[in-house]
Structures are given as C-alpha cells and as structure tokens.
Amino acid sequence: MKIPSWLCFEINMLELSNLMERERRKQRLIELEGIFHAARTGPGSSPFLPEIPLSTSFLEEACDLVQRFPLNLLFNQTPTIAVWSILYPLSVNYGGASKEVYAHIGSFLEQSFDDEATRDDLKQHFRRTARSLGLPVSGNQPTELFFAPLGPARQQMADLADAFVYATIRFGPPAIEDTTAARQWQRRALLERCPAHTRLRATIAFDTSAWCSRRFEAWRKGRDPITENERHLFDAYTAAAGVYGRGRIDLVGPPQLCWSVDRLTLEAEPSPSPQRLKLGAFPTSIKGGCRITVPHPWPREVEWGYGKTSQPVRIAPNWGEALLFDADTGRLLTRICADQREIEVSAAHLVILTPDEFESPSFGPAIPARDPAFKVAWVDAGETLRFEDGRDLRFAAPREEAIWIDGTVIGRDGSRALYSCDGALSLKIDPEIGGSARIIRMRMGCLTRFVSIEAGVDRMVCVPFVDFGLSTLSTPGEAVFEVLAPGAIRDGGARPTLTTRCWIWPGLRTPQGDLSGVTLPSNLVKAHCAGLRVVDGIVSVDPEADEETPILGLSERDRVHEFHLSARSEKLWHNRIERGDRVFVPRGGLIIMGHENRHDTLTLRSPDRTAALLVLGRETRRPFHLRQTLEIGAGQLRSPIDGDDRIALIRGTGRVEVLARLRRRTDPTQLLLTEGLDQICLSMALSAPYDAIRILIEEPSGPGCVGETAFGREPVSVPALPGTQVGYDPDTRQLSITFVRSDLPTPARATFQLRREREDFKDVRDARGALIAIGLSGLPQRADTRQLIEVARLLSEPEPDDLSGKLRASLTPAYREAIRTVSGTSPFLGRVRGLLSVARSNGAPPRHDLVAAVPWLFEAGLHAFTGISVEKGLAPLQTMAERPAPNPAPSLKGDAPLEVWLSRVSSGDQVPRAFLADELQRGFRVLRWRLKETDLHDLVREGPIGTNVRLVSSAHIAELEQIRSFDVGGGGDPLPARIAVQIERFARACAQRRAQTFIDHTAFRTGLSVDEIGFILTLMIRAGIEIFAYFRALWAHAEKDGD
C-alpha cells in the first residue's frame, strides 16, 4: 500500500523535529558540561564529584538529559557529566536496601549492565575518563573505583569523626598548610581507628588533596559548612568531640616534636587553657603556642596533659629507629623503623637523628648530637645512608603528587622558615591523572599570581620564585603556593589539590655573610628585633651585638614573628666542661675562668680562610683554610705570653679584630657553710698554695677586729682571733674556719684574705668577683641611724652563688630591728632616708633590701623624695614630683589600667612629655644596659638570683606584647619586659598604699619568703629605676586625680 505524500511529509517533519530536539538537547548537554566543569574546580567545590556545588535545577536538568544519550557519547563529549552520572545514583542510594552497584547505575541511566562485558566496558571508560579529569581512581573493584570518589557517606560520618577527633587528641591536628603531611595524617587516623572500614579508608586514600583534613580544621576554627552533607559531618565532629569530653575550641593535641638548630623542641598547639608537660620530676604548666626545648639527655618519652587527660609523647628514637626532620622548617617528617629500606620524602634538605652510627655521601660520618648518645647528620634528598650494621636507607622522591620548597633559609621562627628570593618550588606531578599541565597560584598579601607548568618525563617540575615576580625587593611575607585542580582556570577561588606555604623576602638573594645593607622592610617591628643595626633605613646584622643569633621581627596581620637569622660571620662559644653546656661569647666580651673552668675550651667559627688566629699571644696561621670551625683547647688557654689576654683574628690585611679577652682567677671551690647552735664552720678548697689567712670582723656598732693565722714558715703580724679555729691541709689545700658564736661580737660580718708566700694579703673572692663573707647573727643593743646605715652597707655587697642568701639571712634580723628602732611608731621617709644613699666602694648598685624591710618607703608622697640625698643609681626618684599630671588623669579602676594607659601612650593622646613613649623606651634601654654591663646581670643569668627573678616574673601578663613594643631591640627576650611589668605593678601598689599586700601576694604565689621577695624586687627596681619612677609618678596622679 502506497503511503500518502502528506503522511510522508508528516513523518519527515516529525523525524526532523525529533532530530532538532535531540540536537538541541545535545547542545544543552554540552553547555551543562561547561557549567559542571567550572563548578567541579571552582569555589566551594570538593574532590568528590557528587557534591558538586550546583543548583537543583541544573542537577535535575542533567539527570533528564543523561538518560537520553548513550553512555559512550557522554564519555566522549561530556566527560564531567558522564562521570557524575555514574557516581550520582550511588551517592543517592548509598546504604539503601540494595547494595548492587550496577543496578543503581543502570536504573538511573535507563541502561542495562547485567552482563560482565558491559560492566567491564563501563569500568574501563569510567576509569580512563575520571583520571583524565583529575580524579585519582584506581583498581577494578567497585570500592576503589566507584565508592571512593563519593566522599564520606552519612552512614560513615560518625566513624570518620571519631577517627579525626581521636587522631587530634592522640597525635595533634593535621598540618593543613602542607598537603603531604595532612594526607598522611588522615590516612593514619583511619588506619589507627577504622582498620576494617574498607570503603571509608578507600575514600580517604582517594582524597590525595587532604580535603577532609582541611574541612576538619575549618570546623575546628568555627567556619560554616559549605554543603548540607558537610553540615551533617560537622555535627558528627561535634558529637565525637563530646564523647571525649572536649568541645571544638578545646580539642587540643600534644605538642609536636621539632628540630631547632641542634636541639629537640616541642611546639605546643594553641589552647584556651594551660597544658602540662613533665620534663623532669614534676609537671610544668605551659602556655598554648609556646616552644619548649627538651633538656638533654633526651628522654624516650615525656608525659603531656591537657584538662583531665594525659598521655605519653614520644621524643628520642630507640635503637634501630631514626627521626627524620625537614632541615628547613625543623618539622618531624616521620619515625623510621629498623626494617625500612626506603623512605619517600617531600623535602629538599633533611636532618636525621638516631642512636646508631651511620654515614652519608654528602655529610660523611654522623657526628654526636647535643645529647652524645645520639648521632646526627644533615643530608640531601635522594641520598642513601649506610649504617654501621650494614643496612642501607634510601631517601626517594614521592610517588604521589607532592609539593615542597627548595631554597636557602635565612631565618627561622619555630617551624616557619624565611627564604631568600633565589629559591624554588618543587613538584611531583602524575600526568596520568589530569594530564601533565597544571596552574600554580601564589598568594602573598594582596598579591595573587599564576604560573602555568607542564611536567616532563620524570614527572618533576621546578619553578623558581622569580617566575612569580619575587625578584623585586619588597616586604617579606608569607607566600601560599597552590597547585590548582586539573582543568581549573586562573581564578582566585579555584580549588587547589596541593598546597604549601613559607615566608619569602622578595628581592633578597642569599647573602654571602650576615644580612647587611638591606632596605628596611615596612613590616619590621623593632621591639621584636635583636642584634640588628638600623641606620638611615638600612638594616644590617650588628657584629658587636651580644646576641648569639640576630632576630628579625616581622609583623603579619595580628601577630609578630621573630625570625632567628642564620649567622654566617665569626662566632665564639665557651664550652663549660663541668656544667656540660656551651655559652655564646659576644664580640669583645670578657671570659672569666676560675678553678671550675680549668678544663674549659673555646669553639670559634669563621668563614675567613686567610685569617690567622691569635690566642693569648700565640699565632696560628690560616687555621680556617680547610674548615670553618675550630676548637681552642684548654692547654692553649693557659700561660699567656707577656700578659696578652686576647682571643683575636688577624685578617689578611693585617688588621687585628679582638673577639674576646680571657681572665683567669684563682678562686676557691667547694664552698660549704655549716651552722650549728654554738658554732659556724666554713670550708673551701683552695686553687693555689697559700701560707696565711686573715679574718676580718666588721661590726655595725664598732671598729671591728682582725686576726691572722699562718700555715707556712713565714710568721704573721697579728694573733688569731679568739673564738676562731683554722684548719689547713697542704696536700689537698682544704681550708676550714670555725667560729664560736659566744666568743665573737654580733651582729657582724666576717670576710677573709689569703696570702701567698712573699706576697701581700688579698681578698678571697669567687670567680665572679663576689666577696666571700659570712654573717654572725644577732640583734643590735641600741640601734641608731649610724648602725642602720652600717648594717645596710654590710648587706650591699653581692654574695657568691654557693653561699647565696646566707649572709643576708644572718644579718636581716638585725637590719629589720634597726629599721624598727629608728623609724619608731610613726614611720616616715625622713628617718630612714640614709638607706637611699648607701653606696658600694666600686660604684656598683648596692643590694640591701628597700622593699620588704621598709614596705612603706616607696609609699611616701612624691615630694618626699625631692631634695634628699640618694645613691646615684636612685637619682630618678628625685624627679618624680616634677612630672606633670596627664589631663585627663589615668584611672586605676577597671581590670587593666596598664593596658588602657599603654594604648593611650601609643596613640600620644594628651600625654605630657614626661610620660611619652620615648620615656618608656629610654627606661628599657637603661634597664637592658644595667642587666648587661653591671653586676645586676645576676638578675638574668643562671644562678639562684636569676631563678628567683623568673619565678617572680612568671605571673600571667595580659599586656606583655603591649609593653614589649617599647623595648626596642628586645626580640627573643621577653624577660626584661616581664621585669618591667613587676616594677610597674609594685609602683601601682605603692601609689595605692598596699605595698605590703603586694609583697605578701607575691610570696604566696611563688613560695619564696617575704625577705627573698623584697631582695629580688629591690634589685629589679634598681635595674629599672627609670621605669619605676615613671609609673610611680603616673599612678600617684591617677590615685589623686583619676576617676
């Protein structure tokens, strides 16, 4: 039967219409492919394609269209939608009644995958297309191929949350600034906590960009979830933390082990409450975010605690183990077991620490670490280490994609490294996943730059910093390098797959020596710098500075980083054998060696290959020709030629540069004071032969008395004192002096002089020059002002460390009784003003207590100090009354009057000249000068006084960073600022007439006695008298005129 022409026409029109509709849908599908492609790598995207950030209308339209085209066409023309169409039904039906993978896919696509050949074809096309898009799928089983790219399913979120929260508490949070480290962290978390969860572990293995770790940290920092699915995951994190008794804010992990120069340190994570760390016999409270040096010998583990929980933290490696650190940042990369033969590392320079002997091609045999039980070496990636037991350990490039920095470090702040601009970014790229081309995005402050790269045959890429425009000198700052997801465009919001960050100084190439002649960066903070010289806008390392390591303070947003600069010029260290440590010797410093230091050595580092070394008059020519470090032995430090005390370098030009001077003292050792009810015995070991001793008794109420005793053949001119017995063993040079209390005047001070054969008597002093003296305790019969001044004079001298506090304890009762008698029932400054004029014969600051013994002394009105005679070190007290009151006057009300005032001083708002910031800065300069140049150095050095100063200054100080901003050049050393705050707090207490309350509170807080607190605060005030006068006058005006 012939079909009518009109019907043929209708059929042809219908087919044409269908063809046009199909073509329209195909074009729309291609348009959707562009939308899907942009969304999968754009802002808010994740590596899990089913979570693509698109509106419901786009997703519904895509669902309709994919069912109208064969799957092969989708794979060829719309690969993103094709892969999404396979994964989407699985994500929707995950955990449903049926676990049949292909049934869900076939139902969604309206295609059948019942036979094995169709399934294999599907898997082959899916794997090839997904990998071309940058999805790292693998294998042939549904778990790795289909379920891993889905992301964490709702049913898995509780397990994932438990694993991440547990890992944070157990190991610390993920280091999301380093993709490789974060990737390893999340895999370790699942392996430790969910070893049997195959699908969840596959999902985390698929997440090579550490997206899950980054979003976990986003939850910890209080960020909002991006998707509805992520909102459920964040809720699971909150619930998991609650199981462990934690919240989001206090989810704190143990400190991280790091390598710092030549020692092990622990970096505590920021926390709202103090943490506990047991490095010795007792736990110590540590502040979140601080760094603690692990004392040697290094323990295998230490106990750390936070809140109600505590756990061990592994430190030193066991036999057969090794610790591998990134040499640039100090970050611990991994612990190496004895059976490992190859380690993949994403770093250029490495430090390896182990108790085993080993050697490397570049470094040679490993050297003893600071703890000699361990060996350490600095090696490069790609080397193979050979251990003494015959095993090898090879450092290989990572197999997975990775990113790291390869450059020269010019400074470090903990695990942050500051690089010069001639470094480079190193990458390992897998061309099979997303192709060989990538885009790198660099963010640095307000600057964003993009660089296109392409991996070669070895899959390695090296991108110099200069390719990012960092060759022009500008402000140093933190740079974030991100490799964008394959297929991403040059967009600031594109999703990265690899991330690393570091500090870079643009335009600054690696200096040959120390940092010199660099333009002052705009973010330099002088108060956090040390050892630098700034002249006419040029920054250089000051070779005359006292600091062993110069510090560069750089601000970033709301915090300041203190970078310890890599020193490349001459450095001299004093190796103290008896104490087992090493101290830096400032350029031109004085080295004092007593009997305890007879075996000490010096270590000198110099890059000058042509210089000669001069040691106490003996010259060694070109000792640094083949090396940069030289040890000067104990034998070389004895018997100077013609009294030459110089340790110096003689340059090739003939110029002599003195590095230090050496003084030797024949001080006694083994000082021991034994006190009984009836007698006192002082014993010591003499470091040289003597033939006589002179004992001098000084009484506040009389002329005193002198006695002499001979040990040898030469007679003495004065008989021995009654009540004293002297014993001397010439073989051991052990000397003992016994005092019978009932036969000697009290109160009094006994000092000693020794005589060598055919020489005069000389004072007995310790290695630091402190006079060896003991106190004979007792109360004065009829004390008067003269006796009070005499007792204060006896207490004004420093004491040897081995006898620290003994003299003070013996004479303080007499001192207090004299003050009570002289001041009477109505104490006022005029009666004891003589205490302010007591001076030492050498002009150094006297040390008698002016705080606890006379708590009302500094409570006197400002005019009371005008015109009175004071020791020259207290002269600023006389000018306090001349400081005009600020208008408006500061207020002592509120919780933080110091914080309010410092903010006002910083702004300069209605502040009189006498209270400007310059005055505080000058006070800090003088404080640091006294702590360095006078014997008030005892406040900051090792010893009993320094220990007590740190105890008194250890109280929480909310305004510490504020007041440190006035301490120009105080980088790396907050102790002077802490001392200044204690001075300010005491000045405030005096203005409010509660000095005794302040002393009692400090004694309660520290456990020290009131007398000890008074002594320490007196020394603090003498060191920072300008700061005390500043705040005493300020708070006096506040007490009088404030709100």
Name the phi and psi angles at 968, rounded to 5.
Answer: -65, 125
* Model confidence at 18: pLDDT above 70: no
Kind of pairing, strands 538-541 and 518-519? antiparallel
Distance separating alpha carbons of residues 631 and 635, to the nearest angstrom: 11
Average pLDDT of the residues in 863-891: 86
In 401-517, where do the E strands start and end? 402-406, 409-413, 416-419, 424-428, 437-444, 447-454, 460-464, 477-484, 496-504
Q: What is the pTM of this model?
A: 0.84
- Edge-first strand order for the sheet with 679-685 is 669-675, 679-685, 734-740, 724-729
* pLDDT value of residue 669: 84
Average pLDDT of the residues in 429-438: 91
The contacts of residue 313 (CB under 8 Å, 6+ apart) are 254, 255, 257, 266, 301, 302, 303, 304
* Model confidence at 98: pLDDT above 80: no
- Asked if 644 and 715 sit in the same domain, the reply is no
Q: Is-contact 420 515, C-beta < 8 A?
A: no
* pLDDT value of residue 779: 87
Average pLDDT of the residues in 734-749: 90
- State which amino acid sits at residue 73: L
> What count of other Cβ atoms lies within 10 Å of the Cβ of residue 355?
17
**Is 41 a domain residue?**
yes
- Asked if 239 and 302 sit in the same domain, the reply is no
Average pLDDT of the residues in 811-822: 91
**Is 452 a domain residue?**
no
* Model confidence at 97: pLDDT above 60: no
9: pLDDT confidence band, cut at 50, 70 and 90?
low
- Asked if 130 and 279 sit in the same domain, the reply is no
- Asked if 878 and 1024 sit in the same domain, the reply is yes
* Model confidence at 354: pLDDT above 60: yes
1015: pLDDT confidence band, cut at 50, 70 and 90?
very high
Give the closest residue to 896 by CA, choosing from 1003, 1020, 1005, 981.
981
Kind of pairing, strands 581-585 and 571-576? antiparallel
Average pLDDT of the residues in 812-841: 86
Give the closest residue to 484 by CA, choosing from 495, 499, 475.
495
- Asked if 905 and 1037 sit in the same domain, the reply is yes
* pLDDT value of residue 1031: 94
Domain boundary among 811, 841, 873: 811
Could you give the number of structural domains in the chain?
Answer: 7
The domain containing residue 53 runs over which residues? 5-150
Which string of b and e fits 215-227 if b means at least 16 CB within 10 Å? bbbbbbeeeeebe
- Asked if 962 and 1018 sit in the same domain, the reply is yes
Per-residue model confidence as pLDDT tens digits over 676-712: 888 999 999 988 889 999 999 999 887 889 999 998 8
Per-residue model confidence as pLDDT tens digits over 155-166: 889 999 999 999
Average pLDDT of the residues in 581-600: 85
* Model confidence at 285: pLDDT above 60: yes
* pLDDT value of residue 440: 94
Distance separating alpha carbons of residues 949 and 103, to the nearest angstrom: 76
Average pLDDT of the residues in 745-751: 90
* pLDDT value of residue 16: 65
**Is 320 a domain residue?**
no
What the block records as the tokens of 432 is 């099979």
**Is 1032 a domain residue?**
yes
* pLDDT value of residue 326: 92
Average pLDDT of the residues in 965-971: 85
The contacts of residue 566 (CB under 8 Å, 6+ apart) are 409, 410, 411, 412
Domain boundary among 314, 329, 359: 314
Range with the largest mean pLDDT of 312-316, 710-714, 823-827: 312-316
**Is 835 a domain residue?**
no
- State which amino acid sits at residue 1017: L
- Asked if 229 and 261 sit in the same domain, the reply is no
Q: Is 869 exposed, middle or buried (0-12, 13-18, 19+ CB in 10 A)?
A: exposed
Per-residue model confidence as pLDDT tens digits over 388-412: 888 899 999 899 999 999 999 999 9
- Asked if 689 and 778 sit in the same domain, the reply is yes
- Asked if 703 and 625 sit in the same domain, the reply is no
Q: Which of 20-29, 203-212, 662-671, 896-905 has the lowest mean pLDDT?
A: 20-29
* pLDDT value of residue 308: 82
**Is 409 a domain residue?**
no
Indicate the SS3 state at residue 327: coil
How many CA atoms are closer than 13 Å to the CA of 593, on its beta-carbon side?
Answer: 23
- Asked if 982 and 899 sit in the same domain, the reply is yes
- Asked if 15 and 94 sit in the same domain, the reply is yes
- Asked if 594 and 559 sit in the same domain, the reply is no
**Is 846 a domain residue?**
no
The contacts of residue 246 (CB under 8 Å, 6+ apart) are 165, 169, 252, 307
463: pLDDT confidence band, cut at 50, 70 and 90?
very high
Kind of pairing, strands 656-664 and 589-593? parallel
Domain boundary among 314, 343, 362: 314
**Is 463 a domain residue?**
no
* pLDDT value of residue 739: 92
What is the torsion angle, in degrees rounded to the nearest 10, for the CA atoms of residue 650, residue 651, residue 656 and residue 661? Answer: -50
CATH code where residue 751 lies = 2.60.40
DSSP 484: E
State how far the alpha carbon of 360 is from the alpha carbons of 319, 377, 380, 383, 597, in Å: 19, 8, 9, 7, 36
922: pLDDT confidence band, cut at 50, 70 and 90?
very high
Kind of pairing, strands 416-419 and 477-484? unpaired
Distance separating alpha carbons of residues 607 and 628, to the nearest angstrom: 6
Per-position DSSP letters for 186-243, written without gaps between them: HHHHHHHH-TT-HHHHHHHHH-TT-HHHHHHHHHHTTPPPSSHHHHHHHHHHHHHHHH
Q: Is 390 exposed, middle or buried (0-12, 13-18, 19+ CB in 10 A)?
A: exposed
User: pLDDT > 90: what percent of the chain?
Assistant: 38
Mean predicted lDDT score pLDDT of the chain:
88
